[in-house]
Structure 1
Amino acid sequence: MGCSGWWLLWTACLGNSVLQHNAVRVTVRESSMEAIQGDSVVLPCSFFTMIPLSRLSIIWTLAPLSDPDSPSQVIVYDQGQVIESPAFTGRVGFTGVPWSADVILNDSRVSDSGIYRCVVSNPPEVGDPGIGELSLSVLAPPSLPVCLWEGDTEAGGSVTLSCAVAEGVPTPEMRWEKLEPEKISLPLNMESDMSGSIQMANISAQTSGIYRCSVSNVLGTQNCYINLSVWSPPDDSPGILQGVLLTLSMALVLLALLVLVLWLHRTGQERKMRSPREQEEEEECYNEIRYTPSLIKRSFV
């Protein structure tokens, strides 16, 4: 190969090296991060460019865990202007533009979890924009669960106790227990990640008691309760019927005695209310003795 060939090869390599050197380089210092719901978190993104920053553009996007194929803009810096997404208005902001692409996210929410992408371009910088990615997980304690029951609470019936929690990251662990008269763990049928139930068949008076559903993760525990009362119908045995008849008989006897006492009391009151003359006449009437003389004639022969 002649000198001209070597010159062309060296020129191409130098041009390629210059192009690679002039492309914007983006560095993300953390590939994955965690935050607790309500806290603030800084999403890091630094870049390097050889061109003045008069036309710098920084775009942050989020691909949420609920829909990773539909990313949306979070915040944009374009030639000195900052534009916030309506979903993040008042909660997100750059910390050091134009020298840094870091953003701070305030009042973090579970819905903020997902893949964040930092895209930096600086025309007339050649090459593709620099891109950095990081994942954010926003943790949340369990919300207050809701306990419900349905079924027939008469002895011999069937009852279902259900428990559901609306929020919790990581997914809360659920547990059902009977607290009285002694604590007993109960088998749980998980209907989804956030709800579960227990079924009880052929219940009896011993089934009555206080039941507790507990949901917990690394950030805390929440509980809800159900006070279950099993109703037993009365026994129609002959002994109970005899007891009822005996009770009715005694009640009738007591009623008769009460009527007699009231009658005697009323009679005594009436006698006290008579005048002294009436009482004397009554006594004379009782004390008077009358004799009817009879003449007996006898003949003696």
Structure 2
Amino acid sequence: MRRRRHGNVALNKALLLYFTVCFVPSLVRSISVSSPAELHAIKGDTVTLSCTFTSTSPPTSRMSVDWSYRPQSGGLPRTFFYFASRAFPPSEGQFSDRIKWQGKPAHGDASISLINATLNDNGMYTCTVRNPPDVHGATTSHSVLTVTQAPSIRFSDATLLLAFILLPFALLTFFLIGRILCPKKQHSQSKTFRSPIEVTEG
């Protein structure tokens, strides 16, 4: 009997360990956030900082989103945008009047727009979503934004070669067309023109 009881206890412990290993991580990871790893923009563009999330619990008024920024030069990240039932865009600092809420929490979207991107905006942007009662209730995702100057107009070697070929060819074509049309015009005029002096026989 003792051996049978000992076997049952061992089996119960094994089953408990199995369920703990299989199901507890799924509860802990019940919310996940994703963002593109890299974003590229040209100075002056409006950039969409995308952030999407999935959660086992439907978003409620307790759900919150915050965005933080860490400069490319390094340093500590600082929060510049917050959402909790409504958006709280920055009223001062680097991003003042340049952030627009684009998110739709009911559709798992917590994105924002950065208006008039500058070279000073280069760095890492972190999106954090909290949606209680999910376990731990917070997951983050990072995107690195690279803003560059508008490319200057540069003519490649192929473009220059094409221009040097097409331009003389076009000029030559117009010249030949003019040569063909002009004699016909002169010939038609010679038929209609008569001299006041007429030569008669005898």
Shift of 1:21: 4.4
Q: What CA distance in whole angstroms lies between the structure 2 residues aligned with 1:51 and 1:27?
A: 17
- State the superposition RMSD in angstroms: 2.1
Indicate how the Cα distance of structure 1 residues 219 and 93 shifts in structure 2: closer, same or farther if over 3 A, else same: same
Cα deviation 1:102-128 (Å, max 9, x = unaligned):
111111111111111111111111035
Counting strand residues as a fraction of each chain, which structure ranks higher? 1
Residue type of the partner of 2:144?
S
Other-structure match for 2:166: none
- Are 1:138 and 2:132 an aligned pair? no
Q: Is the 8 A contact 1:19 1:127 kept in 2?
A: no
Match of 1:62 in 2: 69
Amino acid corresponding to residue 94 of structure 1 in structure 2: W
Residues 113 and 56 (structure 1), Cα distance of their counterparts in 2 relative to 1, 3 Å cut = same
User: Match for residue 57 of structure 2?
Assistant: 51
User: In the aligned structure 2, how far is the partner of 1:113 from the partner of 1:34?
Assistant: 10
Q: Which runs of 4+ in 1 moved over 6 A?
A: none
Q: Percent identity?
A: 26
Give, in angstroms, the shift of residue 18 of structure 1. Answer: 3.6
Partner of 1:74: 80
Give me the TM-score of the superposition, normalised by structure 2: 0.62
CA contact (8 A) 1:37 1:139 kept: yes
SS state at 2:147 partner: strand
Counterparts of 1:238-277 in structure 2, within 5 Å, are none
The residue type paired with residue 89 of structure 1 is S
Q: Residues 35 and 81 from structure 1, CA distance in 2 versus in 1: closer, same or farther, beyond 3 angstroms?
A: same
CA distance in 1, matches of 2:153, 2:138: 43
CA contact (8 A) 2:28 2:134 kept: no
Q: CA deviation at 1:49?
A: 0.6
Q: Tell me the secondary structure at the aligned position of residue 133 of structure 2.
A: coil
2:82 and 2:128 mapped to 1: Cα distance? Answer: 10
Instruction: Specify the alignment match of 1:6 in structure 2.
Output: 14
- What is the SS of the residue equivalent to 1:53? coil
Q: Give aligned pairs, total.
A: 141
Deviation at 1:10, TM superposition (A): 2.8
- Once the two structures are superposed, residues 15-38 of structure 1 have per-residue CA deviations (whole angstroms, 9 ceiling, x without a partner) of 41442342x10111x211111111
Between Structure 1 and Structure 2, which shows a larger proportion of helix residues?
A: 2
CA shift in 2, pair 1:32/1:71, >3 Å: same
More relative contact order in 1 or in 2 (CA 8 Å, sep 6+)? 2
Alignment partners' CA distance in 2, 1:40 and 1:112: 12
* Amino acid in the other structure paired with 1:42: T
Question: Could you tell me which residue of structure 2 aligns to residue 125 of structure 1?
Answer: 134
CA–CA distance in 2 between the matches of 1:116 and 1:62?
A: 5
TM-score by length of 1: 0.43
Q: 2:27 — aligned with what?
A: 19
State the structure with more CA Rg: 1
Structure 1, unaligned runs of 5 or more: 142-217, 222-301
AA matched with 1:60: W
Match of 2:103 in 1: 96
